[in-house]
């Protein structure tokens, strides 16, 4: 992704945070991570995030999703004998979020996925989160999520985040962003 596009997306991310009345520092804004998952299709598959804290005990992030933007299906596997994988709680702050986890599939899901990505979405147990609602995902659980029509802001509270160890259903995904 080109650096000028990153700056444009960061600016849009800040506008979304303002709509949600979430204050950020200049330093946080400058560090907004743009995760396009190596697919170069940020409009459909992507996520913007601010990491407030990530240490050996816990992690706190703000996840910014533009309208209908999808964080692709993945899981947080065990890392070693001491780390059983990331457990995370998503709390919707603004907009609507359609979260999909393992379990009974929703017959009429609210998610809209571009045809070329559909084979990589396998879990369809739908959890709809509105502002103020939250859901906790156990370690090593397949999940993915999509923002509603106006986008969404989700606060994530979790155990330590080791993003480069996440396992994605789509083998084409690269979690660590590369900016040109």
Question: Which of these, 123, 73, 131, 83, lies nearest to 103 by C-alpha position?
Answer: 123
3-state secondary structure the chain: CCHHHHHHHHHHHHHHHHHCCCCCCHHHHHCCEEECCCCCCCCCECEEEEEEEECCCCEEEEEEECCCCEEEEEECCCCCCCCCCCCEEEEEEEEEEEEEECCCCCCCCCCCCCHHHHHHCCCCEEEEECCCCEEEECCCCCEEEEEEEEEEEEEEEECCCCHHHCEECCCCCCCCCCCC
Q: Residue 19 falls within a domain, yes or no?
A: yes
Could you report the per-residue pLDDT of 28-82, keeping only the tens digit for each?
A: 999 999 999 999 999 999 999 999 999 999 999 999 999 999 999 999 999 998 8
Distance CA 135, CA 141 (A): 13
Question: Which of these, 80, 96, 78, lies nearest to 151 by C-alpha position?
Answer: 96
Q: Residue 9 falls within a domain, yes or no?
A: yes
Q: Residue 179 falls within a domain, yes or no?
A: no
Q: Residue 60 falls within a domain, yes or no?
A: yes
Q: In this predicted structure, what is the pLDDT of residue 177?
A: 65
Q: Residue 159 falls within a domain, yes or no?
A: yes
Query: How many domains in the chain?
Result: 1
Q: pTM for the whole thing? A: 0.95
Could you report the per-residue pLDDT of 146-163, keeping only the tens digit for each?
A: 999 999 999 999 999 998
Question: Which of these, 97, 106, 100, 107, lies nearest to 148 by C-alpha position?
Answer: 97
Residue 86 banded pLDDT, cuts 50, 70, 90: very high
Q: Residue 180 falls within a domain, yes or no?
A: no
Q: Which residue has the higher pLDDT, 179 or 160?
A: 160
Q: Residue 173 falls within a domain, yes or no?
A: no
Whether residue 179 has pLDDT greater than 70:
no
Structure-token pair, residue 142: 């397949």
The CATH number linked to 98 is 2.60.120.10
What residue numbers bound the domain in which 119 lies? 3-168
Residue 175 banded pLDDT, cuts 50, 70, 90: confident
């Amino acid at each position: 992704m080109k650096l000028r596009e990153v700056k444009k997306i960061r600016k849009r991310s800040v506008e979304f945070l303002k709509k949600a009345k979430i204050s950020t520092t200049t330093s946080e804004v400058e560090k907004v991570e743009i995760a396009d998952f190596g697919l170069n299709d940020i409009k459909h598959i992507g996520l913007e995030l601010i990491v407030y804290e990530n240490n050996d005990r816990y992690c706190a992030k703000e996840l910014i999703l533009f309208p209908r933007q999808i964080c692709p299906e993945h899981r947080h596997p065990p890392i070693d004998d001491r780390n059983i994988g990331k457990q995370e709680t998503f709390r919707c702050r603004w907009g609507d979020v359609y979260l999909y986890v393992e379990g009974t599939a929703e017959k009429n899901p609210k998610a809209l996925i571009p045809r070329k990505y559909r084979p990589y979405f396998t879990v369809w147990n739908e959890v709809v989160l509105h502002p103020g609602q939250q859901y906790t995902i156990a370690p090593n659980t397949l999940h993915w999520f999509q923002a509603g029509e106006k986008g969404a802001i989700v606060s994530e509270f979790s155990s330590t985040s080791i993003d480069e160890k996440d396992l994605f259903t789509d083998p084409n995904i690269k979690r660590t962003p590369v900016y040109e």
